[in-house]
Amino acid sequence: MIRMYISCFIHLNAGDLCKVVSANNPIYNGEIAVFKGVEYYFQLPSYVFESPISNRIIVSSEDGFEVLPYKSSLLHLIDLALDLQDEKWFEELVYKLNYESQ
């Protein structure tokens, strides 16, 4: 089981692009998503992501998962944008990548 590293989330801000990796849930394993924030369910923190494929992804703090920085997933993001052909999402992606690189 992959353990969550809190240090990953200390530097994770709302709006950051990332890749969710989970051995426990193959539905969203490896999916590129935007971090939205932390919500609490039954007094446990859950991490909320949104993606153009699954819409809303909620990952419990008890699930085994990791979040990889989007920079290591740049080629996957470009392929995803080409596959989806969602112009608005792609423009937001380009703006975010340009902003983060400065």
CA–CA gap between residue 99 and residue 54 (Å, rounded): 25
Token code pair at residue 25? 């849930």
The answer to whether the CB of 23 falls within 8 A of the CB of 64 is yes
pLDDT digit string (tens) for 20-71?
777 677 777 777 788 888 888 887 788 888 887 768 888 876 666 666 655 5
* Per-residue pLDDT at 9: 44
Task: Give the pTM.
Answer: 0.54
Strands (E), the chain: 17-22, 31-41, 44-51, 55-60, 65-69
